[in-house]
Amino acid sequence: MLGGVSAGLAAGSAGCLQYARSLANRESPEQVSVTIKTVPADDDEAAVQIARTLQKNMTAVGIDADIELVEITRLFRDVLLNQAFDVYVGQFPPYHDPDFLRSALHSTFVTEQGWQNPFGVSDLGLDEQLTAQRTTAGADRQRTVADVANSVAEIQPFATVCFPEEITVARTDRFGNWDGGRFAKPISYLTLDQAESGPDDATTLGLVLTDDRITKNLNPIAVEYRRPNPLTDLLYDPLMRREDGDVRPWLAGDVTWRRTEATGVTATVELREETSFHDGEALTAADVVFTYRFLDDTSLGTGDMHVPSPTFRGRTSLVESIERLDDRTVQIGFGETTEEVAVRALTVPILPAHVWEAKTGSANLAGIDISEGVTQALVWANTDPVGSGPFRLESRTPAERLVLSRFDDHPLIGTGPEQFDVPFERIAVQVAPSDGAAASLVTEGTVDATGDPVHPKVLENVTGEEPIERFVADSRAFYHVGFNARREPFGNVRFRQALARLLDSEHVAETVFDGYAAPAATPLAGTSWEPPEFRWDGTDPVVPFAGTDGDLDAPTARATFREAGYAYDSDEGRLLK
């Protein structure tokens, strides 16, 4: 009997030990931790303030949140090239057509770099809507785009925060016709005129920037160095260029559109006569064909991988075929789409084949995951650019200065019909350390205008008295919080929705931007494409702020995470994975 008792005790002990080992081997729930990436305040004070608000509210709902400030080139590499982020705060590039959402969110682009689905979302329903909006027109497209807007709001790959107004400061004593400060357009500089009371010998337009990347890198397809900048656009010409909402022929002298059931939409493009690059080489149809094939695959088939240019990918993906008909004529096939959408593809810069065809080889650059494929073209600094634009590079000093000179052989520079009578011979750009310093250079008379938008707080020190003018213009570059759905828990749509409810867009617009911003519930806000149900009326209709007037209601916010399937520990109130 004692033996039986001993055996029972042994068995019981073994069972307890096994149970203990099982408990030990089971991982304890960990707190949800999030790193928010953005740039330092000197680069974008608004982004830092948004990040800090988000971090504070994440902490209030039990998330271990921290902010990592990185210089802007690294942020773009982390987000757009390596997808090495949890959450980031920044501005989306400005857009002119809702088709930009296709490359930004379609699952076809999930493995590509650049602004091609950096969020890593994959939703078949959204894919179908994004494809459908390319093939419809009129009221049908309007309805399809509205469906896209609803899907984006539900899926929340990013949280739309607001559209800032662009504030610029300029002097009117040397040059005038500043186009309301809309300096994001290269044409705005070409349409300046000499001030009536200004000096006749004003031959240099002085600008100041706070972003020095253009002094270090002039590669128009290097995504981590490019944010929309009209100065780069002045170096290179597209076939057509946007002006006041319309698209006008630029390098193209004539564009003939045709649609058939067999071929879909095609465009026959005839180049202007006597077009040339800055080095004197003629610009021909061969360069146009090269550009589109090169942007589609910067290796031109020489490598093991197809390596499209991350910049302009959304536009060049519209092109299905391109053929040279003669030295000045090309035919571009777009397949099943509409002219309204296809014209986007004609706004990419035309590159000289004799310069770029040598950049198709593979490259390595610290900070980029080369397993995805990188060509020399994508990392080349292009410090001596050869374009065909109305201005050419004269000189540069990295991080300090850039000088462009007028290219008088350009077919659109002159005094004739359709030409621009540009009153200055040079554009001299210098770099300032902050928005305040940039504005001071204008008010002191050192430069004529700020080439970058400045923060609203700068206006406190700018009187606006003659000859100083302060311009406020709308922007299509919206601030947003981007989520990396490739990483957990951001792959959970309900978790993303709960995070989006931690920001009060209206309060951000009023406090961070001093009212110089419009809160938004959709990236289509402020356009004719915005569905009526998304027009801002004080709150987001899909992910309303979990609080009032910027103050978070923590219990309400925590309830949204519980509804998303997450739990809290009982002792410290930490949100658990």
What's the pLDDT at 26? 52
Most confident of 9-13, 175-179, 288-292, 472-476: 288-292
The Cα–Cα gap between 175 and 197 comes to 9
Q: Return left, alpha or beta for 477; rule: phi > 0 is left, psi -120 to 50 is alpha, else beta.
A: beta
Q: Which helix (H) or strand (E) segment is 206 a member of?
A: strand 204-209
Query: Looking at the predicted structure, is the pLDDT value of residue 391 above 80?
Result: yes
Q: Return left, alpha or beta for 211; rule: phi > 0 is left, psi -120 to 50 is alpha, else beta.
A: beta
Query: How is residue 83 written in tokens?
Result: 């997808």
The per-residue pLDDT for range 500-543, each reduced to its tens digit, is: 999 999 999 999 999 999 999 999 999 999 999 999 999 999 99
Instruction: State phi, psi for 238 to the nearest 5 degrees.
Output: -95, 175
CATH fold of 229-379: Dipeptide-binding Protein; domain 1 (3.90.76)
The Cα–Cα gap between 459 and 418 comes to 37
Domain layout of the chain by residue ranges: 33-164+477-576, 167-210+390-473, 229-379
Cβ burial 10-39 (10 Å sphere, 16+ → b, else e):
eeeeeeeeeeeeeeeeeeeeeebebebbbb
Least Cα distance to 310 among 218, 372, 230 occurs for: 372
Mean pLDDT, range 554-565, rounded to an integer = 96
Query: Looking at the predicted structure, is the pLDDT value of residue 14 above 60?
Result: no
The per-residue pLDDT for range 342-368, each reduced to its tens digit, is: 999 999 999 999 999 999 988 765 555
What's the pLDDT at 364? 64
Residue whose structure tokens are 């607001």: 162
- The pLDDT mean for the chain works out to 91
Query: Looking at the predicted structure, is the pLDDT value of residue 28 above 80?
Result: no
The Cα–Cα gap between 58 and 501 comes to 10
* Least confidently predicted of 69-78, 79-88, 193-202: 193-202
pLDDT band of residue 8 (cuts 50, 70, 90) is very low
What's the pLDDT at 1? 43
My answer on whether omega of the bond before 433 falls inside 30° of 0, hence cis, is: no
Query: Looking at the predicted structure, is the pLDDT value of residue 5 above 50?
Result: no
Q: Candidates 2.60.120, 1.10.3470, 3.10.105, 2.60.40; correct CATH number of 33-164+477-576?
A: 3.10.105
Query: How is residue 143 written in tokens?
Result: 């309805």
Q: Say what percent of the chain tops pLDDT 70.
A: 93
The per-residue pLDDT for range 52-64, each reduced to its tens digit, is: 999 999 999 999 9
Mean pLDDT, range 450-459, rounded to an integer = 91
Query: Looking at the predicted structure, is the pLDDT value of residue 245 above 90?
Result: no
pTM recorded for the entire structure = 0.90
Amino acid at 309: S
The per-residue pLDDT for range 293-317, each reduced to its tens digit, is: 999 999 999 877 889 999 999 999 9
The Cα–Cα gap between 258 and 244 comes to 25
pLDDT band of residue 130 (cuts 50, 70, 90) is very high
Q: Which residues contact 293 (CB under 8 A, 6 or more apart)?
A: 300, 322
Percentages helix, strand, coil for the chain (3-state, rounded to 5) are: 35, 25, 45
Q: Candidates 3.30.230.10, 3.40.50.300, 3.40.50.720, 3.40.190.10; correct CATH number of 167-210+390-473?
A: 3.40.190.10
pLDDT band of residue 2 (cuts 50, 70, 90) is very low
What's the pLDDT at 29? 84
Most confident of 166-180, 325-339, 371-385: 325-339
